[in-house]
Amino acid sequence: MSPRSVVTVCGVHSLRDTASPIVVGMGARWKDVAIAAGLAGGDGVVRPTIFAEMSALAARTESANLGQGFPDGDGPEWIREAAINAIREGENQYPPGRGIAALREAIAAHQARHYGIALDPDTEVLVTAGATEALTAAILALVEPGDEVLTLEPFYDSHAAAIAMAGATHTTAPLVPHEGGFRLDLEAMRSAVTVETRLILVNTPHNPTGTVLSRDELQAIAEEATRVDAVVVTDEVYEHLTFDGAIHVPFATLPHMRERTITISSAGKTFSLTGWKIGWATGPAHLIEAVLAIKQFLTYTGGAPFQPAIARALTEGDTDITRLRDTLNARRERLVSGLEQAGFTTVRPAGTYFVCADATPFLSAGVPDGAAFARWLPEHVGVACVPLAAFCRDGSATAAQLRNWVRFTFVKDDATLATALERLARLPQLPQL
């Protein structure tokens, strides 16, 4: 038998549109990544991510797309103008590998102003191609094959993919739904941290559950990180999207944690500019140096005209952030109450722009779980969402517990939300599925 296998890798928008066969070695790392992200089909075909799949399905069925989390509207005009001016003024060649000084200074000033974290912009700040690149570079930089990396579960898909790229073992600590929100199972977290745990990946505010981890939960993680001397990477891309007075506690602000923490964020959520892909990693110089060693061979650098625009946004954009938070808060209220009225049980999110809902009342033999429901809903009701199973490891206890759950986003304009809610209100009247 040939030692090589022929596989088909597909474009991200549909299983059919850009299929092209490629030949790869049997042990190639892409398979581990596809499996870790739950995208490996038994037929050797890699499926698109759940977000791409659901957006394609939404487009095909003309559904209100409450699946993939990207805003309908663009970010503030003055920030977009700043990027246009930067292009006109010649910011079109490679920026420095660490990012332009103005942006690194703005990131350091942002961390100092909001959280009291002091950073040296020359050595403790690194600009990346979105939070995604920062996460992947940090994990590739800091773990070796066989090391354990602990995440929360459910987890954002790129977390699992990056762990697989590094050849590391993914372990998880569950977030469990309660009436007041999803909370970290502290006992399970403690027993999941072992001497093999090299890195703990925290995400707060948390996608998909909307949980803002409490100081006590973070402190419990900090104690475990100290016990086994693990590095902590914290994904805080929703840092400004908190509601009901929930306070975002950056992990690096916990006692003694600054020295072992890489904090990651990006402009995408904060300024509704997800396509610009300007992110950053901050932390002690030796850890940032390690991340840079990888990052410089992933993209080297990027986003030349966007960097000065985001530097200004971080410096002058606090009012825009407040406005976005207020708008999202109103939309959250609308979506949560609309889902409840339609018959879902929801968990009210304290942060992010996602609401998780238990779809059990709408399941049947033909549509037996959240994954089937999410694929059924666009075709029959005209609304797209994302199943929580896509954020869980196949076969895990959390996957079983959240089997019937789906995630809806409220980062959509009022008209889209109104259409979605009107359509969802008809769910209880539909004949048994």
CB atoms within 10 A of CB 14: 16
- Verify binding: residue 352, ligand GLN, rule CB under 6 A: no
Question: Nearest approach, Cβ of 228 to ligand GLN (angstroms)?
Answer: 29
Question: What 3-state class would DSSP assign to 406?
Answer: strand
In this chain, which stretch among 127-135, 239-247, 294-302, 323-331 interacts with ligand PMP, using CB under 6 A?
Answer: 127-135
- Residue with Cβ nearer ligand GLN (68 or 282): 68
| Distances 190 to 163, 200, 366 between C-alpha atoms, Å | 20, 12, 39
Number of residues in contact with ligand GLN under rule CB under 6 A: 5
User: Which parts of 201-220 interact with ligand PMP (CB under 6 A)?
Assistant: 203, 207
- Residue with Cβ nearer ligand PMP (238 or 373): 238
Contact assessment for residue 427 and residue 383, using Cβ atoms and an 8 Å cutoff: no
51 interface partner picked from ligand GLN, ligand PMP, none, CB below 5 to 8 A per type: ligand GLN
- Verify binding: residue 30, ligand GLN, rule CB under 6 A: no
Question: Nearest approach, Cβ of 406 to ligand PMP (angstroms)?
Answer: 16
Supply the DSSP string of 233-260, one letter for each residue.
EEE-TTTT-B-TT-----GGGSTTTGGG
Reading the block at residue 91, the tokens are 């910011």
At 358, give phi and psi (nearest 5°).
-90, 120
User: Residues of 177-192 as b/e, b for ≥16 C-beta within 10 angstroms?
Assistant: beeebbbbbeebbeeb
DSSP 94: P
Among 40, 86, 91, 156, binds ligand PMP (CB under 6 A): 156
Q: Among residues 316, 224, 234, which one has the least CA distance to residue 282?
A: 234
Nearest residue to ligand PMP on Cβ basis: 130
In this chain, which stretch among 21-29, 124-132, 164-172, 356-364 interacts with ligand PMP, using CB under 6 A?
Answer: 124-132
Question: Nearest approach, Cβ of 151 to ligand PMP (angstroms)?
Answer: 11
- Verify binding: residue 69, ligand PMP, rule CB under 6 A: yes
Ordered strands of the 345-347 beta sheet: 345-347, 354-358, 405-409, 386-387
Question: Nearest approach, Cβ of 69 to ligand PMP (angstroms)?
Answer: 5
Contact assessment for residue 274 and residue 241, using Cβ atoms and an 8 Å cutoff: no
Contact assessment for residue 262 and residue 283, using Cβ atoms and an 8 Å cutoff: yes
- Verify binding: residue 384, ligand PMP, rule CB under 6 A: no
Binding mask 191-230 for ligand GLN (x = CB under 6 A): ----------------x-----------------------
Give the amino acid at 432. Q
| Pair type for strands 125-129 and 181-184 | unpaired
Binding mask 247-266 for ligand PMP (x = CB under 6 A): -------------------x
Question: Nearest approach, Cβ of 136 to ligand PMP (angstroms)?
Answer: 9
217 interface partner picked from ligand PMP, ligand GLN, none, CB below 5 to 8 A per type: none
Q: Among residues 393, 83, 115, which one has the least CA distance to residue 236?
A: 115
Among 11, 45, 51, 298, binds ligand GLN (CB under 6 A): 51
Nearest residue to ligand GLN on Cβ basis: 69
- Verify binding: residue 68, ligand GLN, rule CB under 6 A: yes
Contact assessment for residue 325 and residue 156, using Cβ atoms and an 8 Å cutoff: no
- Residue with Cβ nearer ligand GLN (51 or 376): 51
Among 38, 48, 130, 177, binds ligand PMP (CB under 6 A): 130
- Residue with Cβ nearer ligand GLN (207 or 419): 207
Ramachandran area for residue 85 (φ above 0: left; ψ -120 to 50: alpha; else beta): alpha
Please report, as ranges, the residues that interact with ligand PMP according to CB under 6 A. Answer: 69, 130-132, 156, 203, 207, 235, 237, 266, 268, 274, 277, 279
